[in-house]
Structure 1
Amino acid sequence: MVYSFLVETYASERLKTLNVWSMFRDEDLDVRPHPRLDRDRTAHEHMVHQCQSEDRWFRTMFDIDLGSPPLPGTETRLAFIQRYADDSGRRLARLREKNEAWWAEDVAFFDTTHSRAWTMVRRVAHTAHHRGEQTTLLRLMGRQVHSVYGPSIDTGGLPIHDALTINAYPDIDSLIEGELQGGRKAALPGPGSHPSTERPGR
């Protein structure tokens, strides 16, 4: 199926999102680590937005309605992880059932129309954008950041220095099991001895 790459991209993106959520500590959720962040989201608010926004997009643009509330009953970090893992997993299963004609069909996208394939690309970009904001929050809080798409400073620095890609967890099942046990994320080597920029002299 020509659009299968979109399904697999969504599958990988849900793991990336949950891995980032696992990097926060419970006490981080409502912290604004910089005085100029009063107009931006906390980690808690990002989790609310991810769950509600994805629910809305899938109901109105992909015609996939899970028939359940998008937010957990108790808004803890682990509850958000479990709810999003479950809901996104059910959405993924529904996406795997769709054929090429469904993906190519034009649907309403806010005040315009686009194909569902185009809309999924925008959905992935939307999620990645907010995930970047969340890793910035982690940095401001002094937390370690595992890989999201490739090496990070905490996994050894830059790819040109042979830094490794080290995800917090390799899959969602081990992520939930590990977080239920208090956190079993992969160990990180730290930045190493090389500069963390391609232009260290500037």
Structure 2
Amino acid sequence: MFRTVQDFIEDYRDESQNTLKLLNLLTDESLKSANTPGFRSLGHLAWHLVHDDAGMLRRIGLDFKAPPAGAEPPESAAAIAAAYRETAESMLEAASRWSDEKLLESHNMFGRNWQNGLTLLMFVKHEVHHRGQLTVLMRQAGLQTAGVYGPTKEEWEKMGMTAPK
């Protein structure tokens, strides 16, 4: 649980930059890639990261600019990345207007009472979870990925090293 607004801002600034690194590697062609029938395509998964799909942050009173939850994903990878960047910046700006006391307020979230600091943490974890899915779909679509918490195989090779197995 985040105990200070500044802790959330610093953590989400880093995590959103990692997400943006991946979104910037998508291609328009890759957005339609879906490896399993009935599941999200790469484009739909990327778009899911752009907005607060479950309304978690809106329910706790964080007011920021984002595409509507029901909006269809753009056909342009660059448009998805730009929308993500704008939404993340707006979210961070909105959070900067909160006090640390606001993190202690509770709201019903999925049938449980969560303090806002916990909701923000779960929002970040939600994004990290889907970012992991995104990297798998990107690899399956033949795209390179970017190192998030460590180098990718290609990044190891650029450093003249062999990636650990």
Q: State TM-score, norm by structure 2.
A: 0.84
Residue equivalent to 2:164: 196
Residue equivalent to 2:40: 41
Once residues 102 and 163 of structure 2 are traced to their aligned partners in structure 1, the CA distance between those partners, rounded to angstroms, is: 48
Q: How does 1:95-110 map to 2 (within 5 A)?
A: 95-110=95-110
Larger Rg: 1
Once residues 67 and 146 of structure 1 are traced to their aligned partners in structure 2, the CA distance between those partners, rounded to angstroms, is: 25
1:62–1:116 Cα contact (<8 Å) kept: no
Query: What residue identity is the alignment partner of 1:196?
Result: P
Residue equivalent to 1:59: 58
Ranges in structure 1 where 5+ consecutive residues have no aligned partner: 158-188, 198-202
Query: What residue identity is the alignment partner of 1:133?
Result: Q
Q: State TM-score, norm by structure 1.
A: 0.70
Please, which of 8, 11, 14 is the counterpart of residue 10 of structure 2? 8
Q: How does 1:123-202 map to 2 (within 5 A)?
A: 123-156=123-156, 189=158, 194=162, 196-197=164-165
Q: How far apart are 1:23 and its partner, in Å?
A: 1.4
Moved runs in structure 1, 4+ residues, more than 6 A? none
Ranges in structure 2 where 5+ consecutive residues have no aligned partner: none
1:21 lines up with 2:23 in the alignment: yes
Q: Secondary structure at the match of 2:113?
A: strand
Residue equivalent to 1:175: none
CA 1:91–1:52 in 2, change beyond 3 Å: closer, same or farther? closer
Q: How many residue pairs get matched?
A: 162
Once residues 152 and 143 of structure 1 are traced to their aligned partners in structure 2, the CA distance between those partners, rounded to angstroms, is: 12
Once residues 67 and 14 of structure 1 are traced to their aligned partners in structure 2, the CA distance between those partners, rounded to angstroms, is: 14
* Per-residue CA distance 1:76-121 (angstroms, 9 max, x = gap): 2111111121122111111011111101111121211111111111
Once residues 21 and 11 of structure 2 are traced to their aligned partners in structure 1, the CA distance between those partners, rounded to angstroms, is: 15
Q: How far apart are 1:6 and its partner, in Å?
A: 1.2
Q: How far apart are 1:144 and its partner, in Å?
A: 1.6
CA 1:150–1:62 in 2, change beyond 3 Å: closer, same or farther? farther
* Per-residue CA distance 1:102-153 (angstroms, 9 max, x = gap): 0111112121111111111111110001000110011112222221122121
Once residues 96 and 16 of structure 1 are traced to their aligned partners in structure 2, the CA distance between those partners, rounded to angstroms, is: 20
Once residues 195 and 93 of structure 1 are traced to their aligned partners in structure 2, the CA distance between those partners, rounded to angstroms, is: 38
Residue equivalent to 2:118: 118
Once residues 143 and 73 of structure 2 are traced to their aligned partners in structure 1, the CA distance between those partners, rounded to angstroms, is: 27
* % same residue: 22
1:107–1:114 Cα contact (<8 Å) kept: yes
